[in-house]
Amino acid sequence: MDAIEVAHESLHSIKTKNLKSLVLKMDLVKAYDRVNWDYLRLVLLQVGLSLDATNWSMACINSASFVVLVNGEPTNFFRISRG
């Protein structure tokens, strides 16, 4: 629900302030190890995202880290990788 609220507030601000904007939602949950990152980068550039915005988006994807609960106890943070 938090993500929905953030999205709603963001879209409301964009609309009320009449801002030029691009809203991009990428769902990589099931496809994470199947996505070709070079292809994704080219698609972002092709749809008109600036080089800086594309680099920022790719950095967010490539630098994510996670914690997993094992028997209710959190593990140490780990970086994601393909495969």
- How many angstroms separate the first and last alpha carbons of the chain? 30
pLDDT of residue 52: 93
Distance CA 32, CA 81 (A): 9
What's at 4, amino acid-wise?
I
pLDDT of residue 45: 95
Residues whose CB is less than 8 angstroms from the CB of residue 75 and which lie 6 or more positions away in sequence, other chains included: 67, 68, 69
Number of neighbours of residue 19 by Cβ within 10 angstroms: 8
pLDDT in tens, 33-68: 677 889 889 999 999 989 998 998 888 777 777 788
Element (H, E) at 79: strand 78-79
pLDDT of residue 28: 65
- Lowest-pLDDT range, 1-10, 24-33, 49-58, 73-82? 24-33
